[in-house]
Structure 1
Amino acid sequence: MPRFPYPPLLSAELRLLELHPGLPDDRLTGTVFHRILSPEDGELPDFEALSYCWGDQSRPEQVKLATERPTPGEQSDQSSDSGHVDIGPNLASALRALRYRDCKRVLWCDSICINQQDTVEREGQVQRMADVYMFAERVIAWLGPATPWASMAMETVRQVGNRHFPQEADTPWLYQNMTPHASAPTTNRSGIEITYGEPIPFSQDQWHSFEKLLDLNWHRRLWTHQEIVFANQETSIVRLGEEEMPWARYKDAVAFICTYPWGPLTAILLDPARCTRNEFVFVYKVAAIDCAVKQHASWIDALAFTEKYDCSDDRDRLYALRGLLQPDIARCIRVDYTKSAKEIAASACVTHLEQRRNLDFLRLCNSTTSPTWAVDLQKPLSVFEVSSDAGARSAASARLIKPGVLEVAGLTCDEITRKPIDLPGSKSFENIKEYLETLLMAFRDLTGNDDFHRDDKCVDELITAMTYGDLWDFSALRTESPPSGLRIALETGRLLVQHWVTAMANGEDSFHTMFHPRYYPATACTRTRNGTLACVPLESRSGDIIVTLLGLRCNLVLRPQPQDGSYEVVGPCYHPGFSDGQAVLGDDFCGWERGWCNKRHHLVFWKEGEPLRLRDPRLDRVPLPFGYSEYNPVVYHIDTVTWTHKDEHEEYMENERIYDPRMSEHRLKERGVPIERFRLI
Structure 2
Amino acid sequence: MEKLYSRLNRDKHGGQEIRLFSLFPGTSNSHIRGRLFKIGTEHIVRDSPEVNYEALSYVWGDEEDQDPIFVNDILFKVTRNLHAALSLLRLCDRERVLWIDAICINQMDCDERGHQVSLMREIYESASQVLVWFGEAGMHGSDGMKELASLLNAKPPHPTALYFFTEGFSQSFRDILTRAWWSRVWVIQEAAVARRLIFLCGPHSLDLPNRPEELSELADALSNALSGVEALSIKGVCREHLLGLILNQRDRALGTKSRLQNLVYNYLRCDCSDPRDRVFALLGLSRTYDSIRNPPDYSTTIETVAIRLLCHSARDADKNYVSLTPDPETEANDESDTYQLERICKSLVGRNRENRIFDASGSSLIDVKWHYVQDMPPYPVLPGIIVDAIATDDDSVQKSTSLHDLGTNSWERFLEGRSVGSSANSREHTRFRIIWSVRGRQACAPRTALAGDKICIFLGFPCPFVLRQEDDKTFSILGECCLTGVMNAEVVRLEEIHEAFNGDNWNWNHGLLRRQRRNAYSFSTRYNPTTQFRDNIWVAPGLEVQDITLNEWIGEQ
Q: CA deviation at 1:229?
A: 0.5
1:18 lines up with 2:6 in the alignment: no
Q: Equivalent of 2:125, from 130, 134, 152?
A: 134
Q: Indicate how the Cα distance of structure 1 residues 41 and 294 shifts in structure 2: closer, same or farther if over 3 A, else same.
A: closer
Q: CA deviation at 1:336?
A: 2.3
- Written as runs of structure 1 = structure 2, the 5 A alignment for 1:93-108 is 93-108=84-99
1:229 lines up with 2:192 in the alignment: yes
Q: Indicate how the Cα distance of structure 1 residues 128 and 203 shifts in structure 2: closer, same or farther if over 3 A, else same.
A: same
The RMSD of aligned alpha carbons is 4.6
- Written as runs of structure 1 = structure 2, the 5 A alignment for 1:114-513 is 114-162=105-153, 164-165=154-155, 172-175=156-159, 207-232=170-195, 235-248=196-209, 258-259=222-223, 261=225, 273-291=233-251, 292-296=254-258, 298-350=259-311, 363-364=339-340, 374-379=345-350, 391-394=373-376, 402=455, 403=465, 405=467
Q: CA deviation at 1:288?
A: 2.2
1:35 lines up with 2:51 in the alignment: no
> Counterpart of 1:37 in structure 2: which amino acid?
T
Write the distance in 2 (CA, Å) between the matches of 1:157 and 1:19: 29
The Cα offsets for residues 36-57 of structure 1, whole Å up to 9 and x where unpaired, read as 1127988663210011111111
TM-score using structure 1 length: 0.47
Calculate percent identity across the aligned residue pairs. 21
> Counterpart of 2:159 in structure 1: which amino acid?
Y
Q: Equivalent of 2:102, from 108, 111, 124?
A: 111
Q: Indicate how the Cα distance of structure 1 residues 30 and 220 shifts in structure 2: closer, same or farther if over 3 A, else same.
A: same
Q: CA deviation at 1:60?
A: 0.9
Q: CA deviation at 1:294?
A: 3.3
Q: CA deviation at 1:137?
A: 0.9
* Maintained 8 Å contact 2:151/2:157: no
Q: Indicate how the Cα distance of structure 1 residues 112 and 397 shifts in structure 2: closer, same or farther if over 3 A, else same.
A: closer
Write the distance in 2 (CA, Å) between the matches of 1:41 and 1:153: 35
The Cα offsets for residues 213-262 of structure 1, whole Å up to 9 and x where unpaired, read as 11111112111010010000xx3311000010112289969868855548
Q: CA deviation at 1:142?
A: 0.9
Q: Indicate how the Cα distance of structure 1 residues 210 and 568 shifts in structure 2: closer, same or farther if over 3 A, else same.
A: farther
> Counterpart of 1:173 in structure 2: which amino acid?
P
Q: Secondary structure at the match of 1:312?
A: coil
Q: CA deviation at 1:377?
A: 0.6
The Cα offsets for residues 468-516 of structure 1, whole Å up to 9 and x where unpaired, read as xxxxxxxxxxxxxxxxxxxxxxxxxxxxxxxxxxxxxxxxxxxxxxxxx
Q: Indicate how the Cα distance of structure 1 residues 379 and 213 shifts in structure 2: closer, same or farther if over 3 A, else same.
A: farther
* Maintained 8 Å contact 1:559/1:567: no
Q: CA deviation at 1:155?
A: 1.2
* Maintained 8 Å contact 1:23/1:101: yes
Q: Indicate how the Cα distance of structure 1 residues 9 and 338 shifts in structure 2: closer, same or farther if over 3 A, else same.
A: same
* Maintained 8 Å contact 1:221/1:310: yes
- Per mean C-alpha deviation after superposition, the further-off stretch among 4-13 and 391-400 is 391-400
* Maintained 8 Å contact 2:127/2:194: yes
Q: Equivalent of 1:86, from 77, 88, 93?
A: 77
Q: Indicate how the Cα distance of structure 1 residues 3 and 23 shifts in structure 2: closer, same or farther if over 3 A, else same.
A: farther
| Long gaps (5+) in structure 2 | 11-15, 322-335, 353-366, 382-452, 456-464, 475-528, 553-557
Write the distance in 2 (CA, Å) between the matches of 1:214 and 1:100: 28
* Maintained 8 Å contact 1:54/1:91: yes
Q: Which protein shows a greater Rg?
A: 1
Write the distance in 1 (CA, Å) between the matches of 2:284 and 2:550: 35
Q: CA deviation at 1:129?
A: 0.4
Q: CA deviation at 1:275?
A: 3.2
Aligned to 2:531: 543
Q: CA deviation at 1:333?
A: 1.3
* Maintained 8 Å contact 2:20/2:99: yes
1:5 lines up with 2:4 in the alignment: yes
The Cα offsets for residues 288-343 of structure 1, whole Å up to 9 and x where unpaired, read as 221335322x3222220122322222110111121111112111212222322112
Q: CA deviation at 1:393?
A: 2.0
Aligned to 1:186: none
The Cα offsets for residues 615-634 of structure 1, whole Å up to 9 and x where unpaired, read as xxxxxxxxxxxxxxxxxxxx
